[in-house]
Amino acid sequence: MTFSLLHATDFADRLLYKIIPPLKAGMIVLADRYAYTAFARDATRGVDRQWVRELYSFAVRPDLALYFRVPIDTSVDRLLARRVKLKFYESGMDLGWSTNPVESFRMFQGKVLDEYDQLVTEFGLEVIDAAGSITDQQRVVRNVIAQHVQITRMELSDDEPI
């Protein structure tokens, strides 16, 4: 829970100083990770799901949230191609499920993915297949965002000028 509180404090600071001001100015804000990351990560670590949701209840509900779903094997391959070893907490080594960092990563992140799959339904996250190339993913993301912005503009045009 202490880890959760530290992350929530950092998130609150980013929300207050980096996200809210541009939103108030009418800008679109893109954020890498949001409260959903904490929901999945903290629940996997055994923190009560409802407690985490209440902890982040101050968070602005995004108009669109993307979940880049990637198979564990692809994730491991990508991470190990970029660096020599996995990070202690990202691999769940603190949980003691395995002394092997790669095996621990597979177990921990597998459970995180299970949590995200529940969040898709609960919060309406838009799932992006992240197994493909960056080019493919970017094309899909651009299409999803373009459709969302177009729908939002159409909704606005019914009530007020754009």
The answer to whether 1 and 26 are in contact (CB under 8 A) is no
Residue 33, pLDDT score: 87
The answer to whether 139 and 95 are in contact (CB under 8 A) is no
Residue 96, pLDDT score: 94
Mean pLDDT of 43-69: 96
**pLDDT tens per residue, range 98-122:** 999 999 999 999 999 999 999 999 9
Domain coordinates of the chain in residue numbers?
1-63, 68-131, 133-162
In whole angstroms, what is the distance from residue 42 CA to residue 8 CA? 11
Please tell me the pTM assigned to this model.
Answer: 0.82
Residue 153, pLDDT score: 61
Mean pLDDT of 146-156: 73
Angle between helices 72-82 and 101-123 in degrees, nearest 10: 120
Residue 162, pLDDT score: 42
The answer to whether 45 and 7 are in contact (CB under 8 A) is no
Three-state DSSP state, 127: strand
Residue 150, pLDDT score: 77
